[in-house]
Amino acid sequence: MENCTSAALLIATFDKISGFHYGPPLRSANLHRDSTMTTFIRIAALPLILMFGGEATAAAPSAAVSDPAAKTVEAFHAVLLDAMKHAKELGVQGRYKKLEPAIDAAFDFPAMTEAIVGPDWANISAADRKAVIDAFRRTTIANYARSFDGYNGEQFVTSPQVQDRGGEKIVSTQMTRTGNTPISFIYKLDNTHGGWKIDDVYANGFVSQVATKRSEYAATLKSGGAAALAQKLNALADSNLKGG
């Protein structure tokens, strides 16, 4: 099946994508710790591939977008791209500081964290909820700062055709790469916490960040609860923010 072949090819080449990771290939045993974008690709595909299609094709330049959800995504991409272009001079700490306000404006961290934790969220105290949300926010920003560490002509292209799905919106984008197949990123946005904000991201059009993280963190939640999860997330952020 073409979609499966495309996903397998992406898995095999993802560690080498310019702007995501430089240096020695990542060891498979540690992939779940390295980058938000890498972990997207390492988890089983979700049915959204059927909705958006799988084989990435060369994208045309973005038409002007008018939908507020698409504008949220484009504003985030603009700052991300600028951070990539100045990655070396900024360093990972500088990229974190540059990306922080843009990611805060674009992402609905309370909604994402609740979805990742799942039914246990109802049993977590308000203080522990805040600690987990803050830690997930911090590790997300750190992952972007660590992962998008260079620039080689990449561009983000946004489809002006935004899908409205039961009060949520779906924004389809691609990251084009010189001499390489574009990568699709699909954003799901809600309007629950003050404007349209991202509450899930699907890499290559079908691999959910929320589903990925729920699977990744389940054992920690089960064994140590919210406090252990917050500690783990902050440790991941600390690790990603070391060095350049």
Percentage of the residues of the chain whose pLDDT score is greater than 90: 68
Could you read off the pLDDT of 46-88 as tens digits, one per residue? Answer: 333 333 344 444 444 455 688 999 999 999 999 999 999 999 9
**Segment of 57-66, 78-87, 175-184, 191-200 carrying the highest mean pLDDT:** 78-87
Q: Please check whether residue 202 is in contact with residue 48, taking contact to mean a CB–CB distance below 8 angstroms.
A: yes
Band of pLDDT at residue 41, cut at 50, 70 and 90? very low
Give the Cα separation of 182 and 191 in Å (integer): 29
Predicted confidence (pLDDT) at residue 128 exceeds the cutoff of 70:
yes
Give the Cα separation of 213 and 67 in Å (integer): 29
| pLDDT score, position 54 | 43
Per-residue pLDDT, averaged over 154-173, amounts to 95
Amino acid making up residue 119: P
Give the Cα separation of 73 and 77 in Å (integer): 6
DSSP string covering the chain? -HHHHHHHHHHHHGGG-TTT--SSPPPGGGHHHH-HHHHHHHS---THHHHH-SS--PPPPPPPP--HHHHHHHHHHHHHHHHHHTHHHHHHHHHHHHHHHHHHHHB-HHHHHHHHHGGGGGGS-HHHHHHHHHHHHHHHHHHHHHH----SS-EEEE-S-PEEETTEEEEEEEEEETTEEEEEEEEEEE-SSSS-EEEEEEETTTEEHHHHHHHHHHHHHHHHHHHHHHHHHHHHHHHHTS--
| pLDDT score, position 243 | 82
| pLDDT score, position 206 | 80
**Model pTM score:** 0.77
The CATH architecture assigned to 2-240 reads Roll (3.10)
Per-residue pLDDT, averaged over 2-18, amounts to 34
